[in-house]
Amino acid sequence: MKKKITYLLTACMMAGMLTACGGDQEFVLHTADMSKYVTLPEYTGIQVTEADPEVTDEDVTTEITGQLANCTDPAVGITDRTVAEGDIVNIDYVGKHDGTAFDGGTASAYNLSIGSGNFIDGFEEGLVGATPGETVELNLKFPDTYDNNPDLAGEDVVFSVTVNFIVATEDQLTDEMVPALHAESTTVAEYKQAVRDALMESAQQTYESNVQNAIIEQIIAGSTFKSIPEVLQTKYEERLNYQYSQMASYYGYDLETYVYYAYGVDLDNFNETVKQWAIDSAEQALILQAIANEQELNPTDEEVQKTMEDTAAEQSFESVEEMLGDDTTEDDFRDYLMFQNVLSYLQENAVVSAS
């Protein structure tokens, strides 16, 4: 369960964590005396090795194939031939047991890869040779052991399946299909270039994140931490727990079940890991603020105000005041801008090589 340091810090900070108060204690990052907490090593000229960002033709093909596999718009459909093994077909289906539709047996506009083995025996095979627009009746039997619905184990069922269309493959794309995949593109060439550009943007972001993490890890390793404000560490820990509880809820799990399936650990082990993540994030916050103070990289009040106004508008708040609250403060935006300033400074002053 390893996480990149800059990701941890940004995730916590954006959730309103770097201005932390607890009881009679208060710690505000940008007003604190960093000399009480950390002594920095030399932080310019750090050497980092990271491969240049690259996007291959294979990457583009893989991305387009994935987008097509998930597209349910009939505009990308093939309707002038029958279904064959290996096709992805868009289907509607209703499964019935003793004439009654059963839970989990009905879906609309579902993309199914023929030959994937995702459905019970006979379902995918029964669609081979069907014509788009045709409805086929599949008389099937659930396996004797069926954990998804034990009540149906070994039972005869009937699926009524309508084949809506066969999803086009990359080599079958036409200019007319493209807007269903990318509204800003009008030709296949434009679409493929847009995909390449998006992949390169992502690769560039990953490159910069990797470089910045490598720099930060070296600075942390060379720093001397005199103390870490307990209230800051505690608030990071609380925010991380909240963040993962929200993720668990999104998937319909409690936190204990979610971390078991996502990370293969029990809740006690996860809590220990979160504590370490909180320490890592607190240490990074301290060194970034210390560098910002030394290099005069703290944002101005005007910069902070503009960022808050822009964010409020983007998130459809009527005002900055409406956006701010207990969980998000002006200092959070100030710290965020400081982080970006320092990370850019460190990257610009590092020695980055591709090999």
What is the per-residue pLDDT across 143-166, written as a single tens digit (0 to 9) for each? 998 887 888 999 999 999 999 999
**Average pLDDT for residues 230-257, to the nearest whole number?**
92
Q: Residue 284: is its pLDDT beyond 50?
A: yes
Which pLDDT does position 330 carry in this prediction?
92
Which pLDDT does position 1 carry in this prediction?
53
Q: How far apart are CA 96 and CA 131, in angstroms?
A: 22
> Partners of 48 in the beta sheet?
352
Nearest to 37 by CA among 229, 296, 313: 229
pLDDT confidence band for 24 (50 / 70 / 90): very low
Instruction: Give the strand pairing for 47-49 and 351-353.
Output: parallel
pTM of the model: 0.79
- Of 13-17, 153-157, 270-274, the least confident: 13-17
Handedness of CA 27, 29, 35, 41 (dihedral sign): positive
Q: Residue 81: is its pLDDT beyond 80?
A: yes
Q: Which two tokens stand for residue 104?
A: 């989990």
Under 8 Å between Cβ of 289 and 34: yes
Please name each of the domains of the chain with its CATH number: 5-40+223-353 (1.10.3120), 59-182 (3.10.50.40)
> Count of CB atoms within 10 A of residue 260's CB?
15
Residue percentage of the chain with pLDDT more than 90: 85
For 184, list phi and psi in degrees, rounded to 5: -85, -5
Which pLDDT does position 147 carry in this prediction?
81
Q: Residue 141 gets which letter from DSSP?
A: E
Under 8 Å between Cβ of 173 and 60: no
b (16+ CB within 10 A) / e for 104-128:
ebeeeeeebbbeeeebbeebbebbe
Q: How far apart are CA 270 and CA 265, in angstroms?
A: 6
Q: How far apart are CA 33 and CA 200, in angstroms?
A: 41
**Average pLDDT for residues 326-332, to the nearest whole number?**
83
Q: Residue 3: is its pLDDT beyond 70?
A: no
**Average pLDDT for residues 261-265, to the nearest whole number?**
92
Q: Residue 18: is its pLDDT beyond 80?
A: no
Distance of CA 350 to the CA centre of its chain: 28
Under 8 Å between Cβ of 304 and 337: yes
Q: Which two tokens stand for residue 259?
A: 């971390």
Residue 174's contacts (CB-CB under 8 Å, 6 or more residues apart) are 168, 188
**Average pLDDT for residues 47-72, to the nearest whole number?**
96
pLDDT confidence band for 7 (50 / 70 / 90): very low
Residue for token pair 């460190």: 346
Tens digit of each residue's pLDDT (9 = 90 or more) over 170-207: 999 999 999 999 999 999 999 999 999 999 999 999 99
Length of the chain: 355
Average pLDDT, the chain: 91
Q: Residue 175 gets which letter from DSSP?
A: T
